[in-house]
Structure 1
Amino acid sequence: MPSTQAASCTTLILRVAAVFLLILATAGFTAIPATASGSSKPTIVLVHGAFADASGWRDVAANLSARGYPVHTFDNPLRGPRYDSTQLERHLAMISGPIVLVGHSYGGAVITNTHDPDVVANVYIAAFAPDQGEFVQGLLNPLTFPGSRILPPALQLKLVDDPTGIGGKNIDGYIGQPYFHEVFAQDVSSDVAADMFAHQKSAALVANLEPSGAPSWRTVPSWYLLSQQDRVIPPASQRFMSSRAAPGRTTEIDASHASLVSQPSEVIDIVIGAAQETHR
């Protein structure tokens, strides 16, 4: 083959490979363009928790976008804080400018373990905010923080294919259909709860037992929106965590665990407040 042809062929292969790698890098990360001028605003990255997917942020994301904020939703793998935060960090590296991280439920454990120099604020929505060495199940200890209903028979198990697990398999937990509405989101309508159940993602059981690393909330300004009627993470546990992670920046509301769906305006307010205070 003439050298010019070989060079052209090599260039084409490199271009195709670059496109393929870009597709792989952006998988699981959805960007919602701002509908107003948002050049001076930080990017809001929304991280869902266990027993949910990114669709739970629908109303929050649409409202923030309408106000000019660039919004991304992260498809949380729900495999464990270390693995999930590594995937999140890879995606954050592709965002230019300041970032506000928002984590709901187990998503809070993920943003706690995420360290990116562009993150200017963490916002916890009825979320886990563990200190180093703590783990999710320990923060649901019924002797210290009674009240969680994430127990059998509501909590059910299944074997799943998982490349991160031993032998390509893992044991995941999920909330059974008869219990989902009353345990996860008792303050939404039956139709909304049915839609949320249909979008439910199971979470690896080992994610509840993996010790957390150095918490980002020690160096990143953080806010906390506490749900007083939470049946997943007891309010007492949320107060314990928020007193360390977001002292003086905690707001309590009369809501279920799914406040991002039942009271999106409260979530939007605290996210915008964090964005405005840390990026003027």
Structure 2
Amino acid sequence: MRDIINILALAATIGTAAATSVQAAEPRAKPVIVLVHGAFAESSSWNGVIQALAKDGYTAIAAANPLRSVTSDAAAVASVLRSIPGPVVLVGHSYGGPVITEAANGNSNVKALVYVAAFAPDTGESSARLSGKFPGSTLADALTTTALPDGGQDLYIRQERYHDQFAADVPEDEARLMAATQRPITQAALAEPSGVASWKTLPSYAIYGTADRNIPPAVMGFMAQRAHAVKTVVIEGGSHALMVSHPKEIASLIEEAASAR
């Protein structure tokens, strides 16, 4: 009888060990990639990046960015983050950088931040202030404004200037469509001070082009260095519209952030 009990106990131990081994061998779920567009773009600007990520088995969500204010835009993105049960890599382009920086606060499922030709503000800094930190931006001369009912202003890039200003390395026909479908941003949003800088506690990654005319490359290099970015990729001749002109390079950096342990 004692021998039978010992045999059963041994079998149970082996079974438990085998189950544990199988669980350990199961791959971790891949993070969901949440992509946040910036000013003068819209969600479809991420299409090439989404296609590249999908080929490698990643689920991506291009979150709508209202472009009204850092605080309210971040709240909108944060609501998307709360709807995702697993880990998230949060990616922002241009003004989307301040938005993801704020949206990550209080959302423990965010495992990394990726800044794509984007602002990575410290607490109290605005996009407008950072843009002027080093010379090189020609955006101001390319803008046009429309009055809003509340007395504020919406900013657009003039369509005839869009290709050279925003997307010089994108085919002209495609840039023309982007110009027509661009989303405006309020002037107040660009001047709004940012909240807590989540990149101080989360690993960050950065990618930008040397021919960016919206945000001076020197500014983006400064911000990446200040944030102690895990990896910074510099695209020679890259415009501000990197997600359109260089989607594979962006997807590769996102996947690196997603697979880091």
1:119 pairs, out of 89, 110, 116, with 110
Give the letter aligned to residue 124 of structure 1: Y
**Of the two, which has the highest radius of gyration?**
2
1:128 pairs, out of 113, 119, 125, with 119
Give the letter aligned to residue 144 of structure 2: Q
For the pair 1:108 / 2:97, whether they are aligned, the reply is yes
Contact 2:204/2:230 (<8 A) preserved = no
Tell me the alpha carbon deviations over residues 220-267 of structure 1, each in whole angstroms, 9 at most, x when there is no partner: 111000211100000011011111124342111111111111111110
Give the letter aligned to residue 121 of structure 2: P
2:192 pairs, out of 198, 205, 210, with 210
Q: Following superposition, which runs of at least 4 residues in structure 1 exceed 4 angstroms of deviation? A: none
Give the letter aligned to residue 51 of structure 2: A
Question: Where does residue 243 of structure 2 map in the other structure?
Answer: 260
Contact 2:203/2:229 (<8 A) preserved = no
Corresponding residue SS for 1:133:
coil
Give the letter aligned to residue 235 of structure 2: I
Contact 1:224/1:246 (<8 A) preserved = no
Give the Cα–Cα distance (whole angstroms) in 2 for the partners of residues 85 and 96 of structure 1: 19
Q: How does 1:1-280 map to 2 (within 5 A)?
A: 40-114=29-103, 115=105, 116-141=107-132, 144-152=133-141, 154-160=142-148, 166=150, 170-254=152-236, 255-278=238-261
Tell me the alpha carbon deviations over residues 200-233 of structure 1, each in whole angstroms, 9 at most, x when there is no partner: 0000000011110011101111100021110000
Q: Deviation at 1:94?
A: 0.6
Corresponding residue SS for 1:113:
helix
Identical-residue share of aligned pairs (%): 44
Q: Deviation at 1:160?
A: 3.6
Contact 2:203/2:230 (<8 A) preserved = no
Give the letter aligned to residue 159 of structure 1: A
Give the Cα–Cα distance (whole angstroms) in 2 for the partners of residues 247 and 181 of structure 1: 30
Which ranges in structure 2 are unaligned for 5 or more consecutive residues? 1-26
Corresponding residue SS for 2:50:
helix
Q: Aligned residue pairs: how many?
A: 232
Corresponding residue SS for 1:172:
strand
Higher helix proportion: 2
Corresponding residue SS for 2:152:
strand
